[in-house]
Amino acid sequence: MTLPILYIVIPCYNEQEVLPITSKLFSDKILQLTNQGKISPNSKVLFVNDGSKDSTWQVICGLCNENPVFQGVCLSRNRGHQNALLAGLMTARRYADVTISIDCDGQDDINAMDKMLDEYTDGCDVVYGVRSKRETDTWFKRTTAEGFYKVMKSLGADVVFNHADYRLMSRRALDGLASFHEVNLFLRGLVPLVGYHYSSVYYERAERIAGESHYPLKKMLSFAFDGITSLSIKPIRIITGLGFFISLCSILGIVWVLATKLFGLTVSGWTSMLCAIFFMGGVQLLCLGVIGEYIGKIYNETKRRPRFIIKETTFEEEHHTNDYE
């Protein structure tokens, strides 16, 4: 049996403080797995520089010069975590039998990779890294994040609870992922749609080794909202239901108004009228907003803009892996 080539894919954005520390962890892991005869000696650590504004790319190039286990891909500009990760996975797909994606900040337990690979050897194409505890996260981050997974589930989007983007994917699963062309990328919702045999590995999430999170509350909320609207059309259904309910209520209201008029009691009415106008105005605007969100998504999808463009790589390539190939 030939040993599988593993690529660890790591998106990096402004991580110059973190990389010198965590890169060592990744290369040690490759070395350990190679020595144990679990992976091929051609396995690599692939960094994707997501248009960092600091010297992250210089750090990556330095690492690649020192140790051939490291490789780097540089995007033409900042495209966000999901696109950077996709760029890395699509590049790795051409060389690797199996990939593991992980953040570069050391928050995800790197030792879970051993178990992930065991699951892969046992025939899984996708292995999700799931956070068993989130004690190091603040109470706020924990509750909002867990609330998010619950809302997603109830809206019918198939996401794995407490799983972020730490996951193993086989080449076959990546080929499947490559055939999804959506621009509104939400990988943790897409991977379950790819299918194949999967399992989960549990680990404890640690604190960031250095630097700061790129996901403050505002970005987290918009990420959650994007995730929901790109995976589920339930909000539109809820609006339809709401519209139906309100129409029903207004029919009852009209009956009541006519009855009042019949009995000649049409004196006041100013308050109730204003209430209805305000309420309906608000509900309509809200509904328009939600529908508009979907139209915006359709607008972005129809343009089919590339999700990433690779500027340079630290290794020889026949041609850069660009999007839509």
How far, in Å, CA of 140 to CA of 286, rounded? 27
Q: Which residues contact 154 (CB under 8 A, 6 or more apart)?
A: none
196 binds, among ligand UDP, Mg ion, none (CB under 5 to 8 A by kind): none
Q: Kindly state the smallest distance separating residue 188's Cβ from Mg ion, in Å.
A: 15
Q: Counting contacts by CB under 6 A, is residue 266 touching ligand UDP?
A: no
Stretch binding ligand UDP (CB under 6 A), from 209-217, 224-232, 249-257, 308-316 = 209-217
Q: Kindly state the smallest distance separating residue 187's Cβ from ligand UDP, in Å.
A: 12
Helix (H, G, I), strand (E, B) or coil at 55: coil
Stretch binding ligand UDP (CB under 6 A), from 10-18, 91-99, 116-124, 256-264 = 10-18
Q: What are phi and psi of 194, to 5 degrees?
A: -65, -35
- Taking the CA atoms of residue 199, residue 201, residue 205 and residue 211 in that order, the dihedral angle to the nearest 10 degrees is -70
Of 82, 25, 28, 78, whose CA–CA distance to 56 is shortest? Answer: 78
84 binds, among ligand UDP, Mg ion, none (CB under 5 to 8 A by kind): ligand UDP
Q: Kindly state the smallest distance separating residue 153's Cβ from Mg ion, in Å.
A: 23
Among residues 32, 34, 42, 78, which is the contact residue for ligand UDP, using CB under 6 A?
Answer: 78
Q: x-or-dash pattern for Mg ion, window 102-141, by CB under 5 A?
A: -x-x-x----------------------------------
Q: x-or-dash pattern for ligand UDP, window 83-102, by CB under 6 A?
A: -x------------------
Residue entry with tokens 């918009």 = 222
Q: Counting contacts by CB under 6 A, is residue 11 touching ligand UDP?
A: yes
Going by their DSSP bridges, the two strands 198-204 and 70-75 should be labelled as unpaired
Q: What are phi and psi of 79, to 5 degrees?
A: -120, 5
Q: Counting contacts by CB under 6 A, is residue 250 touching ligand UDP?
A: no
Q: Counting contacts by CB under 6 A, is residue 12 touching ligand UDP?
A: yes
Q: Counting contacts by CB under 6 A, is residue 107 touching ligand UDP?
A: yes
- Taking the CA atoms of residue 148, residue 154, residue 157 and residue 159 in that order, the dihedral angle to the nearest 10 degrees is 50
Query: Which residue, 118 or 226, has its beta carbon nearer to ligand UDP?
Result: 226
Q: What are phi and psi of 311, to 5 degrees?
A: -85, -50
Output the DSSP codes for 208-273: -SSS--S--HHHHHHHHHHHHHHH--HHHHHHHHHHHHHHHHHHHHHHHHHHHHHTT--S--HHHH
Q: Counting contacts by CB under 6 A, is residue 163 touching ligand UDP?
A: no
13 binds, among Mg ion, ligand UDP, none (CB under 5 to 8 A by kind): ligand UDP
Q: Give residue 119's identity as a one-letter amino acid code.
A: E
Total of chain residues touching ligand UDP, rule CB under 6 A: 16
Of 18, 9, 1, whose CA–CA distance to 211 is shortest? Answer: 18
- Contact between 30 and 43 (Cβ < 8 Å): yes
Q: Kindly state the smallest distance separating residue 293's Cβ from Mg ion, in Å.
A: 27
Q: Counting contacts by CB under 5 A, is residue 101 touching Mg ion?
A: no
Q: Kindly state the smallest distance separating residue 118's Cβ from Mg ion, in Å.
A: 25
Q: Which residues bind Mg ion (CB under 5 A)?
A: 103, 105, 107
Q: Which residues bind ligand UDP (CB under 6 A)?
A: 11-13, 15, 50, 78, 80-81, 84, 103-105, 107, 213-215
